[in-house]
Chain A
Amino acid sequence: MSNSRFTRRGLLKTSAVGTAGLAMPMFFTSQANAFTNEPTGSTVTLGFNVPQSGPYADEGADELRAFQLAVEHLNGEGDGGMLSTFSSKTLDGTGILGKKVQFVTGDTQTKSDAARASAQSMIQKDGAVMISGGSSSGVAVAVQALCQEAGVIFMAGLTHSNDTTGKDKKANGFRHFFNAYMSAAALAPVLAQLYGTDRKVYSLTADYTWGWTQQESIKAATEAMGWTTINDVRTPLAATDFSSYIAPVLNSGADVLVLNHYGGNMVNSLTNAVQFGLRDKQVNGKNFEIVVPLYSELMAKGAGKNIAGIVGSQNWDWKLENEKGARYTGTNAFVQSFGAKYGFPPSQAAQTCYAQTLLYADAVNRGKSFNPCSVVEALEGFEFDGLGNGPTLYRKDDHQCFKDVVVVRGKENPENEFDLVEIVEVTPADKVTYAPDNPMFAGGDLGACNPGA
């Protein structure tokens, strides 16, 4: 019907008749494509679904910057960033499979409902073949399930819960970011080295699934090296003032406080803990220490001076290649092109989003098809290097990336607002690798890839 010369009015009338009957099948093209949103023109559309309002809006903005940069590089604009360092060489600046890359953006609001609505609109209205982004695990799991049902690929952004590639894993979903188990496994040896093997832990845990998985992981990892957990207190997600949770800590006999909080929760609980002077105290003859297993650059910025000396883990840091050598090649190339465009270094969320976009594009090129099942096949068991994290494996069993984990500590005297952490140690990938049937990840099923249609 594409050559009809109906006027708009006439069209409305005709179609009204058409709908009323619904008995004229030739009018309708009922999804004749091989898979959802098969790109047929000269372009392909990717959907970047990031928080643009709510507490994580700044993190979302940084993810979006990275996505835009990745699209530029894929289309052959800019300096190419990590395309030149990426171990797979199928990306040559001519888009993906010769199609120019376009993108649409949406606002997740860090709510599962809004994130799914936004992703739906990208799939149904804009014809996106891949959805990426996000900055919380609840959203990642919800959008991942949606993409599985709709038959598009989901390349997760920042999501740290074990569940994303554990009990809620999906065949169409892939996670480059590390997870709570890996944080714990990477931190434990460093903590033992810094604070000794005889420590008593008091932990505060955000009372929802991500918090629980992290607490569980940290507890297991630290107890394995001799620490004891004397108390774990769950705190409401909506809490803003943590004084009543922090006040009893000193008197409990613990000498380490672990804060399993993220975002505003972490900024507030850490600020409160420092206010109470915990860091200046001596307990059991040792200095009292605070550990925040996962924190981002933005959280460090929000916590200001309070982050100084706090140990945590990160997926990546922009100083990695300069400080730890050529194993982390790609880092500088990315930092240079990000810095040239935006004037400051990228965050770990930006890096993971950039890498995910490149990995998707490369998988399409290698499989020579946008079909989600072809992408899944190309990514499963894929080993690569040169994206800034060192040699990395996309494991077939759970679609989780296995790579080195960076252990960081807040700088005492940061030179500027982008240089708030120092790299203490990089824990190699094999130390943080776990079996696919590890009990913390059990209970899920990837299922089969779904091409939709």
Chain B
Amino acid sequence: MDAIILQTLNGLDKGSAYALIALGLTLIFGTLGVVNFAHGALFMLGAFCAVTVSKLFQLSHKASEATGVDFMGQPKFEDVLYVKEWFGNDLGAWLIDWSVPLSILFAIPIMIGIGFIMERGLIKHFYKRPHADQILVTFGLAIVLQEVVKYFYGANPIPTPSPMAFRGSFDFGVMLGFDPNVIIYPYWRMVYFAFSLTLVGGVFAFLQFTTFGMVVRAGMADRETVGLLGINIDKRFTIMFGIAAAVAGLAGVMYTPINSPNYHMGMDFLVLSFVVVVVGGMGSLPGAVLAGFMLGILESFASLNEVKDIIPGIDQIIIYVVAIIILLTRPRGLMGRKGVMEE
């Protein structure tokens, strides 16, 4: 019983990451019809926004007086952090500690900006090109973005811990009447779960309840008619692209304390996010979110030894097995719209 609760919790958390990434992708891929292989790179860029902010907070200069000697026998100078000099020790330390949540403020404008530039400068010209060309150009872009990050930050993962307040884990088990330590869950992962629910809800509400969202939804369904009504749908699509980039980026920012970011983390998530979107069904936002949570939970359960004893190696392939079963039993994924990317 406790194992089931525990893996459900895990699955919800994993799933929230999948759902967030898939949500951003499906905005571009499922609705604008662009096969965006650079989506993983956007996720990665978001994570590196957090890295950049924490590096900025840790900018330092050498102290004027030497303290001891370094490994070469040369005099060593302590690093003095600018933030601590400028804002005082307490506030400086607090800023460094909270650098990940704070970088959300930094990441939103940056990611929206990147989304705009990407759409206006590149993707716009590819709406009418074959999907194959879209794959090639966005894959090229993903490699370029990745290599640029590698050039500045190296290939090694960079630790970006969560604020002190969220380290450690919460004992759910005690609440539910189990022994202590049976069902524990890290605070930061709960934050991530709540954050992604908020973000998913926000995007849905935005599309559902605003005029802008209504126009965009209309544009997805029938771009030409909306254009004929005198509405500048192109501009709205650019904004949608910016929003999608921001969603991907924020997913990346908040993910950094869970796993240290590195330059190729985008590629690791790329295939998975496509699988999630397609399993959810092309053109369906709820489908992508649902598929994300479903695959997350199933993956968590598959990692139990009890399950692996029955089907060896199931945790290696569970996502793909489920994807195949769903696509074979439901022709358009869980909630796919007819005619989107089916030709």
Chain A residues with CB under 8 Å of chain B are 53-58, 207, 231, 233-236, 238, 240-241, 243-245, 247-248, 250-251, 264, 267-268, 271-272, 275-277, 280-281, 283, 298, 301-306, 318-319, 335-336, 339-340, 345, 416, 418-419
A275 and B185 CA atoms in complex are apart in Å by 9
Per-position binary interface string of chain B over residues 281-321, scored 1 when its CB falls under 8 Å from any chain A CB and 0 otherwise: 00000000000000000011001110010000101100000
Q: Tell me the smallest distance from the CB of B15 to a CB of chain A, in Å.
A: 11
Is B7 an interface residue, CB under 8 A from the partner? Answer: yes
Partner of B150, one of A56, A57, A271, A340: A57
New A-B pairs, 14, CB < 8 Å, besides A267-B157, A272-B258, A272-B259: A54-B264, A233-B308, A236-B315, A240-B268, A240-B269, A243-B189, A250-B181, A268-B259, A275-B258, A277-B168, A277-B186, A306-B159, A336-B72, A340-B72
Tell me which residues across on chain A come within 8 A of B71, comparing CB atoms.
Answer: 318-319, 335, 339, 345, 418-419
A53 and B263 CA atoms in complex are apart in Å by 10
Report whether B167 and A251 are in contact in the complex, using a CB–CB cutoff of 8 Å. Answer: no
Is B6 an interface residue, CB under 8 A from the partner? Answer: yes
The answer to whether residues A280 and B168 also contact, given A302-B158, A339-B72 and a CB cut-off of 8 A, is yes
Can you list 8 contacts pairing A with B, beta carbon distance less than 8 Å?
A56-B155, A58-B155, A207-B313, A233-B303, A243-B14, A250-B182, A267-B259, A318-B71
- CB closest chain-B residue, reference A250: B181
Q: Tell me the smallest distance from the CB of A60 to a CB of chain B, in Å.
A: 8
A305 and B11 CA atoms in complex are apart in Å by 27
A336 and B161 CA atoms in complex are apart in Å by 33
Report whether B181 and A283 are in contact in the complex, using a CB–CB cutoff of 8 Å. Answer: yes
Is B232 an interface residue, CB under 8 A from the partner? Answer: no
Closest 8 CB pairs of A and B: A304-B159, A57-B155, A302-B157, A244-B300, A277-B169, A244-B303, A275-B186, A58-B156
Q: Tell me the smallest distance from the CB of A392 to a CB of chain B, in Å.
A: 24
Is B323 an interface residue, CB under 8 A from the partner? Answer: no
Q: Tell me the smallest distance from the CB of A252 to a CB of chain B, in Å.
A: 10
Partner of A276, one of B150, B159, B186, B260: B186
Size of interface on B: residues with Cβ below 8 Å to A: 50
Tell me which residues across on chain B come within 8 A of A271, comparing CB atoms.
Answer: 159, 258-260
Tell me which residues across on chain B come within 8 A of A283, comparing CB atoms.
Answer: 181
A264 and B155 CA atoms in complex are apart in Å by 10
Tell me which residues across on chain A come within 8 A of B300, comparing CB atoms.
Answer: 243-244
The answer to whether residues A302 and B308 also contact, given A58-B154, A264-B157, A275-B189 and a CB cut-off of 8 A, is no
Tell me which residues across on chain A come within 8 A of B7, comparing CB atoms.
Answer: 244, 247
A236 and B161 CA atoms in complex are apart in Å by 24
Report whether A55 and B155 are in contact in the complex, using a CB–CB cutoff of 8 Å. Answer: yes
A218 and B6 CA atoms in complex are apart in Å by 28
B255-271 interface with A by 8 A CB criterion: 257-260, 262, 264-265, 268-269
Is B134 an interface residue, CB under 8 A from the partner? Answer: no
Tell me which residues across on chain A come within 8 A of B268, comparing CB atoms.
Answer: 238, 240
Chain B residues with CB under 8 Å of chain A are 2-3, 6-7, 9-11, 13-14, 17, 70-72, 150, 154-159, 161, 167-169, 181-186, 188-189, 257-260, 262, 264-265, 268-269, 299-300, 303-305, 308, 313, 315-316
The answer to whether residues A251 and B181 also contact, given A238-B268, A244-B300, A276-B169 and a CB cut-off of 8 A, is yes
Tell me which residues across on chain B come within 8 A of A238, comparing CB atoms.
Answer: 268, 316
Q: Tell me the smallest distance from the CB of A203 to a CB of chain B, in Å.
A: 12
Tell me which residues across on chain A come within 8 A of B262, comparing CB atoms.
Answer: 55, 264, 302
Report whether A268 and B260 are in contact in the complex, using a CB–CB cutoff of 8 Å. Answer: yes
Q: Tell me the smallest distance from the CB of B343 to a CB of chain A, in Å.
A: 31
A55 and B169 CA atoms in complex are apart in Å by 29
Partner of B264, one of A55, A267, A268, A277: A55
The answer to whether residues A241 and B17 also contact, given A271-B259, A318-B71 and a CB cut-off of 8 A, is yes
Tell me which residues across on chain B come within 8 A of A298, comparing CB atoms.
Answer: 156
Tell me which residues across on chain B come within 8 A of A418, comparing CB atoms.
Answer: 71
Most chain A beta carbons < 10 A, residue from B2, B7, B11, B258:
B258
Tell me which residues across on chain B come within 8 A of A336, comparing CB atoms.
Answer: 72
Report whether A241 and B155 are in contact in the complex, using a CB–CB cutoff of 8 Å. Answer: no
Tell me which residues across on chain B come within 8 A of A268, comparing CB atoms.
Answer: 157, 259-260
Q: Tell me the smallest distance from the CB of A274 to a CB of chain B, in Å.
A: 8
Tell me which residues across on chain A come within 8 A of B259, comparing CB atoms.
Answer: 240-241, 267-268, 271-272
A312 and B13 CA atoms in complex are apart in Å by 30
Report whether A303 and B159 are in contact in the complex, using a CB–CB cutoff of 8 Å. Answer: yes
Report whether B304 and A248 are in contact in the complex, using a CB–CB cutoff of 8 Å. Answer: yes
Q: Tell me the smallest distance from the CB of A385 to a CB of chain B, in Å.
A: 23
